[in-house]
Amino acid sequence: DQQVKQNSPSLSVQEGRISILNCDYTNSMFDYFLWYKKYPAEGPTFLISISSIKDKNEDGRFTVFLNKSAKHLSLHIVPSQPGDSAVYFCAAIIHAGGTSYGKLTFGQGTILTVHP
Amino acid sequence: NAGVMQNPRHLVRRRGQEARLRCSPMKGHSHVYWYRQLPEEGLKFMVYLQKENIIDESGMPKERFSAEFPKEGPSILRIQQVVRGDSAAYFCASSRQKNTEAFFGQGTRLTVV
């Protein structure tokens, strides 16, 4: 039962353009969402998060949008840089139930390639 | 401040052998989480431990897998009688408190031959 889904296995973008990574979830109990970035042979690194009481959170070149009614979130990277090339994972937790921030439900990941 | 340290980075075991994966959390962190990533999949939660206690093991397979986080020393994920299907990347994460960000280690890639 895949509760967090990233339906695009890969995305290719030109340097300087916008990258949009999408994520859908099925469990309406999820109330906190995170994006992680992962390089080969390394662990995931936290990128940005959003609480379900918000619909947008911005941090530099990264913006996460949340559409609760559609159970959909997206990560926008603008402008994209070659160093952004990595696997991006969407993750969710049910925080309201007292669940630890470390118990994450991950999507399958999207491989982003930014071409110079 | 060193990050989450996992060792070994790569581990090869024959079918039927035991695998021991170690995780040293970041300094000051007493909460540890283990995840498994199978090929072409996302990370799947396995177990959450706090010093000497298993808090949540809802993602652990019922047999052959165990985890501990002793008062002294690293957390250990132990897989007995490994099978080919256990081949995966195993990641450990740690956090200072239950409701603070978890940081991931670089993972241990287990290959069962």
Flag if B45 and A105 touch (Cβ within 8 Å): yes
- Looking at CA atoms only, how far is residue B48 from chain A in angstroms? 7
Neighbour-count burial of B58, counting CB atoms closer than 10 A to its CB (0-12 exposed, 13-18 middle, 19+ buried): exposed
Residue A95 backbone phi and psi in degrees, to 5: -75, -35
Mean pLDDT of chain B: 94
| A95 has pLDDT over 90 | no
- For residues A3 and B23, give the distance between their C-alpha atoms in angstroms, rounded to a whole number: 28
| B1 has pLDDT over 60 | no
Provide the pLDDT confidence category of residue A13 given band limits of 50, 70 and 90: very high
Q: Given CB atoms, is B53 within the 8 Å cutoff of chain A? A: no
Residue B12 backbone phi and psi in degrees, to 5: -115, 130
- For residues B34 and B107, give the distance between their C-alpha atoms in angstroms, rounded to a whole number: 10
The per-residue pLDDT for range B64-77, each reduced to its tens digit, is 999 999 999 999 99
Q: Which of B37, B43, B95 to mutate to test the interface with A (most CBs of A within 10 A)?
A: B43
- Looking at CA atoms only, how far is residue B99 from chain A in angstroms? 5
Considering only CB atoms, which chain A residues are within 8 Å of B56? Answer: 100, 103
Provide the pLDDT confidence category of residue A99 given band limits of 50, 70 and 90: confident
Q: Which residue of A has its CA nearest to B55?
A: A100
Residue A9 backbone phi and psi in degrees, to 5: -65, -30
Flag if A44 and B91 touch (Cβ within 8 Å): yes
Considering only CB atoms, which chain B residues are within 8 Å of A36? Answer: 104
Flag if A42 and B43 touch (Cβ within 8 Å): no
- For residues B98 and A10, give the distance between their C-alpha atoms in angstroms, rounded to a whole number: 33
3-state DSSP call for residue B87? coil
The per-residue pLDDT for range B43-89, each reduced to its tens digit, is 999 999 998 899 999 999 999 999 999 999 999 999 999 999 999 99
